[in-house]
Amino acid sequence: MGNIAGNSAGQEKPLILLGLGGVGRALLSQILEQRALHGERYGLRMRFLAVCDSSGAVEEPEGGFTEESLAGVLQHKEAGSTLASHPLGRSYRSPEAVVEELGGPGTVVVDCTASDGTAGALLLALERGCQVVLANKKPLTVVQDVYDGISRSSGQARWETTVGAGLPVIATLNRLVSSGDEIERIAGSFSGTLGYVMTGLEAGRAYSETVAEAYRLGYTEPDPRDDLGGVDVARKALILARGIGWRIEMEQVEVRGLYPERMAGLSVDGFLAELPSLDEEFRGQVAGAALEGKVLRYAATLSEGACSVGLTAVAEDSPLGRLRGTDNLVEFYSRWYNPNPLVIQGRGAGVEATAAGVLSDIVELQLQ
């Protein structure tokens, strides 16, 4: 960060926020909470041009949003209403239309949606001289061309929270790449939910029991197969692979889920009821790994141009092997980090930590 504490020059940072779900709302709240810090330390004031959800947008009124009016937008969303139904809101064609209308040089377009429909808006934003920040993995994991369009924007885009939420995983990868270090292998656990399940298996619990418990505690998505299928982890692995510089599409990522195809069509209740049929198989795999001094992790592995996601036996005394519970952990093995890897570990999800990571991306873009 190239700015000095106590900068009082005062600079407005116009923002267009796409997505006002858990992360988007936490971000808006944190921006309001951190106004004094940003003003005093960086001479920076975030100014909302528009906030958008899937229904529409609330655009900046004449004279600007007040803190109260933004708090009112938050309350409106928290009450379950759509932005299109807000007194200042209107429905819209697409996020692209908002960028077209309001986005200019220096505006930051922040993608806190979970939609694959924002790529056009982000590319248009960059074309118009805006900066972009993504918490949303999807635009970075569609075809390579879109990733290239976003990443080749001369440093005008950031997506730190797409892998490991607030953890500095992408920043670390970028530093290894930019120094010319050779990344030999990356291995990581990027799902708190699957970490929880793996810890349960290791403690001798039945697979069905740990999954049912994670479901009951709300650790899984409403349909646990959205976690157990591994696709979200595969998206993170693909973002890392592309970050290394590999030209790779999602179809080339080998994804081994934690349930068989025959269970894909069941209802959620039917799926949970069928889970005990998998217990013996998992028990056998845990025992097989233990015989070799290994433990099972649901890991993303990038090595020698190949990217895979699935159940992996790792040495029990390795950083991944020592991992317990829901933390994320990533090991980078490179020319300079070998045989001991560079390791990052910590909370890898949660709307507040993610929003803080997004906010930090916005500030860094301004200060670079």
Ligand X SMILES: NC(=O)c1ccc[n+]([C@@H]2O[C@H](COP(=O)([O-])OP(=O)(O)OC[C@H]3O[C@@H](n4cnc5c(N)ncnc54)[C@H](OP(=O)(O)O)[C@@H]3O)[C@@H](O)[C@H]2O)c1
Does the protein bind ligand X through residue 210 (CB under 6 A)?
no
Question: Which one of residues 16, 112, 170, 233 is an interface residue with ligand X (CB under 6 A)?
Answer: 112
Q: Please choose, out of 131-139, 216-224, 248-256, 290-298, the segment that lies near ligand X by the rule CB under 6 A.
A: 131-139
Give the residue numbers annotated as catalytic, written as ranges: 236
Does the protein bind ligand X through residue 137 (CB under 6 A)?
yes
CB of 192 to ligand X, least distance (A): 9
Residue 361: both structure tokens together: 């991306």
> Mask 332-361, x = binds ligand X (CB under 6 A)?
-----------------xxx--x-------
Beta-strand ranges (E) seen in 37-78 are 44-52, 56-59
Number of residues that bind ligand X (CB under 6 A): 28
Cβ proximity to ligand X: between 106 and 117 the closer is 117
Asked if 176 and 244 touch (Cβ cutoff 8 Å), the reply is no
Question: Which one of residues 44, 46, 52, 132 is an interface residue with ligand X (CB under 6 A)?
Answer: 52
Beta-strand ranges (E) seen in 116-269 are 131-134, 157-158, 183-189, 254-255
Does the protein bind ligand X through residue 113 (CB under 6 A)?
yes
How far apart are the C-alpha atoms of 31 and 110, rounded to whole Å?
13
- For 223, the enclosing helix (H) or strand (E) is none
> Mask 154-193, x = binds ligand X (CB under 6 A)?
-------x---x----------------------------
Q: Give the bridge partners for 298, in sequence order.
A: 311
CB of 355 to ligand X, least distance (A): 9
Residue with CB nearest ligand X?
A: 21
How far is CA 322 from each of CA 106, 311, 315, rounded to the nearest angstrom? 44, 16, 9
Count Cβ atoms below 10 Å from residue 358 Cβ, excluding itself: 28
Tokens 């979200």 map to which residue? 232
Cβ proximity to ligand X: between 70 and 286 the closer is 70
Does the protein bind ligand X through residue 95 (CB under 6 A)?
yes
Residue 304 DSSP one-character state:
T
Q: Which of 115, 98, 118 is nearest to 15 (CA)?
A: 98
Residues at the interface with ligand X (CB under 6 A): 18-24, 52-55, 82, 95, 112-115, 117-118, 135-137, 161, 165, 349-351, 354
